Structure 1
Amino acid sequence: MASEEIEIRTDYITLGQFLKLANVVESGGMVKLFLSESPVFVNETQDQRRGKKLYPGDSISIPEVGTYTVIKKNV
């Protein structure tokens, strides 16, 4: 499965914001529930903290959902 690139315009994005941006969850209120029920791997390490900072180049893998890479949009 190919990795989908998610563009950010800031230096970093939190895992909670990322899940909304990548359309994994519909709203911020769903993030905590999603993280408590679904394993999320950041750079191959499981992480359930919605405040976890993700930087360009980070890889996020969610089994049965997809694999994503954070990239920086040059403005």
Structure 2
Amino acid sequence: MEKVSLRDGEEFIKLGQAMKKAGCVGSGVDAKMMIQEGDVLVNNEPEDRRGRKLFENDTFSFEGVTYQVVKE
């Protein structure tokens, strides 16, 4: 499982931002398209909102890889 870190002082990261930070997509537009096409799961459930807030220990999966949101 890959990790995506929250910035200091952040409680959450939006799904589209997390995908960019993890290197899954190159832009927010790419993230939006992948999410709307049903290619992304959040906590093992289909998600269609790019602005979905991810908190510590939430996971998202894309193209067979699962990422976990962590605080560092």
Same fold (TM > 0.5): yes
1:1-75 equivalences under 5 Å are 3-9=1-7, 10-62=10-62, 64-73=63-72
Q: Distance in 2 between matches of 1:45 and 1:37?
A: 14
Q: Quote the sequence identity (%).
A: 40
RMSD over equivalenced CA pairs, Å: 1.3
Which runs of at least 4 in structure 1 moved beyond 3 Å after TM superposition? none
The 1-side partners of 2:64 and 2:25 are apart by: 11
Unaligned runs of 5+ in 1: none
What's the CA shift for 1:11?
Answer: 0.7
Gaps of 5+ in 2: none
Provide TM-score, normalisation by structure 1: 0.82
The amino acid that maps onto 1:21 is K
Contact 2:54 2:69 in 1 (8 A): yes
Q: Secondary structure at the match of 2:60?
A: strand
SS in 2 for 1:25: coil
Q: Which has the higher strand share?
A: 2
Specify the code of the residue in structure 1 equivalent to 2:29.
Answer: G
Listed one character per residue, the Cα deviations across residues 20-45 of structure 1 (whole Å, up to 9, x for unaligned) are 10111101222211212342111111
